[in-house]
Structure 1
Amino acid sequence: MRYALVLLLLLLSPAPARAADIGGFTLSAHAAPVSVLLHTDLLPVPAEPQGEAHLSYTQTELGSGPIGRSLASSLWPGAAVGTGLPQLLGFAYPVQANASHPGGPADASQPGMKAAAGASKAESYAGAKQEVPFLLTTDGLSSTSVSSVSGTEARSSAVTSAQTISLLAGVVVLSGVKFESVAVSDGSKGSGTSTFSVAEFTVLGQKFPVKSPAAPPDGLLKVLEPLGITLTWPTSATKLEGTAATSSSRGLTLTVDVLALRTKLGLGGILDGVVAPLLPKELVPLLNPLRKMVVIVGDTEAVANASTAAPLTPPDTQVPQAPLVPPPAAGAPPVSAGSPPLAVAPPKSVTPVASARAKPRSLLDFPGVPALLVLAGLGVAAASAFGMKSFGTFLLGGAPCPSGHPTGVPDLRVNP
């Protein structure tokens, strides 16, 4: 009895509300654990910076169609070089893994790089140990970008992490770095989150634990300032516009004045006073290759926008229309915004007209012409034809010949 009662309650309980199905969608995500921007006078490039490099870079795109694309690169030089080389030099940038849908390939991989793209999901991963002598050394560096769509939501996410990041031969060391951005859209509204965390800074061997993600540790900026290093603390935000959501974390930025740092470390006197006189004048600028270097630790962005699928209307179903409200008569008081609407008489019912095919027609039922008129016309035509024949017989020999010869028109087809 108990089981029957439970079954009855389950059958009578209302079904849970179901989210509307996703129709169109646009998704994108990108993540870069470390980006290095180089400012130098050696390269004749009319732009700032003159060089850029993004370590363990990932990017995904997914849209209606469906069309998907994913990219992973352990050393990404930026879109201008990474995607512009085929047009300029005829070959693609080699340090990357690309996947696309529907053109393919569906997945690609290289050491430390993976990319995959399908109809409902595009994802990429990049992670490898990076080292640039005297400038940068990383351990545990990785990033992941994912864009996916299901029946009820469209989602993008971008995550970066690093165990340690050592700058300028260990002058500045960051540990426990993680940035994450997530954007979601269900077709009716957008939502998202963006967070970041840094565990500890070490400057010239002095440690500065990060107690709160809202501000840098006390005393850190004062230690970096004499070295010619400016620190900008990261920010994270989520922007919502209707059904779209954009979540981003702009990374921690270290701007290094290379000339000031070189002087502070005692390298300026050695390079300019000892090494420079030994080199030809053409090679002296090589002792100062960089004017400024900007290191951005952690940069993520996720974008999601979707719309619900429109319900299909049967072709024979008539969409109800609201009755038209007639304009007020002359002299009538104007209707205010808060007053009730004027009463409108409902339209009168119209008796449907019987189909023209309801009864069979006779042979004399000509559309739009009375049958009597048709019969009279046929009689007049017959009488006219008979009269014309009699009149022709009278003109062409209707009376007999006294000599017995044939009358009428001779038959020219008979030989004499």
Structure 2
Amino acid sequence: MRYALVLLLLLLSPAPAQAAEIGGFTLSAHAAPVSVLLHTDLLPVPAEPQGEVHLSYTQTELGSGPIGRSLASSVWPGAAVGTGLPQLLGFAYPVQANAAHPGGPADESKSGMRVSAGASKTESYAGARQEVPFLLTADGLSSTSTNVVGASEVRSSAVTSAQTISLLAGLVVMSGVKFESVAVSDGSKGSGTSTFSVAEFTVLGQKFPVKSPAAPPDGLLKALEPLGITLTWPTSATKTEGTGATSTSRGLTLTVDVMVLRTKLGLGGILDGVLAPLLPKELVPLLNPLRKMVVIVGDTEAVANASASVSLPPPDVPVPQAPLVPPPADGGVSAPSPGTPPVAGVTPPRAVTPVASSRARPRSLLDFPGVPALIVLAGLGIAAAGAFGMKSFGTFLLGGAPCPSGHPTGVPDLRANS
């Protein structure tokens, strides 16, 4: 009895709702663990910054078609140089790996770089130890960008991580850095998450553990100020609009005023007071190559947008046509025959009362169209009276007295033959 009751409840319970299948979609993701922006007066470039480099950079795209592309670069100089060299110099930027679908190649691997691209997934990975002398050293640096299309949802993700990042020859050290952005769309709504974490800062040997990701540790900003370094704390957010979602994590931004830093380190007197007089005037600007340097740690973005597939309706069933009835001989509108059923989608004609012909009944001699008979009779009477009056007046003028010579009076008959 107990098993029968369970079976009955299972049969009566509603079936779980099934997600709609995915139709069109657009996915993109990019991740940069560390970006260095250089501001200098040596390069005659009107834009700011004059130079940029992104370490262990990854980027993926996947759209309806499907059309996919993956890019990974250990040292990415930005799109202007990375993709513009073939047009300017005739050869591609060498430090990159590319994959594309359907054009190919489907995958490619180089030192510290790996990419793949297919109809339902694009992925790129970049990771290696990075070092820029006197500026930056990074261990355990990596990033991954991935786009995946499933039967019921699409997903885009971007992840960066680093064990340690050392700036300015160890003056500032960060450890335990991770940024992640995920965007999802199921064709009806978008969702996503974006998080970041930093374990610890070290400034001039003093440690500042990060207790909460909401704000920098106490005393960290004051410790960086004498070095000419301004710190902007990272932000993360997810924006949903319609069926799409965009998740972003904007990383830690350290802005270094190079002029203040070199004074703090005691380099200003050596460069300007000792070396500058020994160099030609044209080479003196080389002693101060940088005006400002901006280091961005952790930058991720994931975008996902999809629409549910639409089932095409069956072809329209032809509507049966009403039988054609020949018009009547007199040109009138014939009514449908009795007993004819109405046809779906066809509006029956309205019954029109036939108009009687003007020749349908005999007319009187006094029946003038549009003129009453009384008016016609009155007009004839007035005309007869006028004719009689004119005749009497002529007789009065010409024949009212006898002729002295004996000739007949009155109006002669002009119709008589002479």
TM-score range, shorter chain: 0.7 to 0.9
Partner residue in 1 for 2:153? 153
Partner residue in 1 for 2:164? 164
Partner residue in 2 for 1:179? 179
Partner residue in 1 for 2:328? none
Measure, in 2, the Cα distance between the counterparts of 1:351 and 1:46: 76
Change (3 A) 1:349 1:186: farther
What is the number of equivalent residue pairs in this alignment?
A: 325
Partner residue in 1 for 2:252? 252
- Give yes or no for the alignment of 1:143 onto 2:175: no
Instruction: Give the RMSD, CA atoms, in angstroms.
Output: 2.0
Change (3 A) 1:79 1:317: farther
Q: Tell me, which stretches of 5 or more residues in structure 2 are unaligned?
A: 320-339, 346-418
Measure, in 1, the Cα distance between the counterparts of 2:255 and 2:343: 83
Displacement of 1:276 in angstroms is 1.6
Partner residue in 1 for 2:31? 31
Aligned mate of 2:342, from 329, 347, 350: 350
User: Aligned letter for 1:315?
Assistant: P
Secondary structure class of the residue paired with 1:93:
coil
- Give yes or no for the alignment of 1:192 onto 2:186: no
Q: In the TM superposition, what whole-angstrom CA distance separates every residue of 1:366-393 from its partner, at most 9, and x where no partner exists?
A: xxxxxxxxxxxxxxxxxxxxxxxxxxxx
Partner residue in 2 for 1:364? none
Measure, in 1, the Cα distance between the counterparts of 2:175 and 2:263: 27
Secondary structure class of the residue paired with 2:15:
coil
Displacement of 1:219 in angstroms is 0.6
Displacement of 1:316 in angstroms is 3.1
Measure, in 2, the Cα distance between the counterparts of 1:277 and 1:127: 44
Alignment of 1:110-129 (within 5 A): 110-129=110-129
The structure that has the greater radius of gyration is 2
Secondary structure class of the residue paired with 1:283:
helix
- Give yes or no for the alignment of 1:305 onto 2:305: yes
Change (3 A) 1:349 1:259: farther
Change (3 A) 1:202 1:351: closer
For structure 1, which segment, 279-288 or 27-36, has the greater mean C-alpha deviation from structure 2 after superposition?
279-288
Partner residue in 1 for 2:63? 63
Measure, in 2, the Cα distance between the counterparts of 1:188 and 1:158: 23
Give the 4+ runs in structure 1 shifted more than 4 A.
1-13
TM-score by length of 2: 0.75
Q: Tell me, which stretches of 5 or more residues in structure 1 are unaligned?
A: 320-347, 354-416
Partner residue in 2 for 1:316? 316
Displacement of 1:84 in angstroms is 0.4
Change (3 A) 1:352 1:288: closer
Secondary structure class of the residue paired with 2:199:
strand
Partner residue in 1 for 2:368? none
Partner residue in 1 for 2:228? 228
Partner residue in 1 for 2:287? 287
Q: In the TM superposition, what whole-angstrom CA distance separates every residue of 1:17-58 from its partner, at most 9, and x where no partner exists?
A: 100000000000000000000000111111100000000000
Change (3 A) 1:275 1:158: same
Alignment of 1:38-53 (within 5 A): 38-53=38-53
Measure, in 1, the Cα distance between the counterparts of 2:312 and 2:70: 33
Measure, in 1, the Cα distance between the counterparts of 2:290 and 2:317: 72
Secondary structure class of the residue paired with 1:157:
strand
Measure, in 2, the Cα distance between the counterparts of 1:140 and 1:3: 58
Measure, in 2, the Cα distance between the counterparts of 1:7 and 1:53: 65
Displacement of 1:4 in angstroms is 7.2
Displacement of 1:14 in angstroms is 3.4
Displacement of 1:281 in angstroms is 2.0
Measure, in 1, the Cα distance between the counterparts of 2:198 and 2:212: 9
Displacement of 1:215 in angstroms is 0.6
Q: In the TM superposition, what whole-angstrom CA distance separates every residue of 1:283-312 from its partner, at most 9, and x where no partner exists?
A: 211111100000000000000000000112
Measure, in 1, the Cα distance between the counterparts of 2:172 and 2:73: 25
Secondary structure class of the residue paired with 2:225:
helix
Q: In the TM superposition, what whole-angstrom CA distance separates every residue of 1:147-168 from its partner, at most 9, and x where no partner exists?
A: 1111100110000000000000
Measure, in 2, the Cα distance between the counterparts of 1:313 and 1:48: 55
Secondary structure class of the residue paired with 1:251:
strand
Change (3 A) 1:173 1:349: farther
Displacement of 1:2 in angstroms is 7.1
Measure, in 1, the Cα distance between the counterparts of 2:71 and 2:255: 28
Displacement of 1:279 in angstroms is 1.9
What percent of counterpart residues are identical? 87
Secondary structure class of the residue paired with 1:225:
helix
Partner residue in 1 for 2:89? 89
Displacement of 1:280 in angstroms is 2.1
Measure, in 2, the Cα distance between the counterparts of 1:126 and 1:176: 18
Q: In the TM superposition, what whole-angstrom CA distance separates every residue of 1:201-233 from its partner, at most 9, and x where no partner exists?
A: 000101111111111111111111111100000
Measure, in 1, the Cα distance between the counterparts of 2:341 and 2:258: 88
Displacement of 1:15 in angstroms is 2.5
Secondary structure class of the residue paired with 2:198:
strand
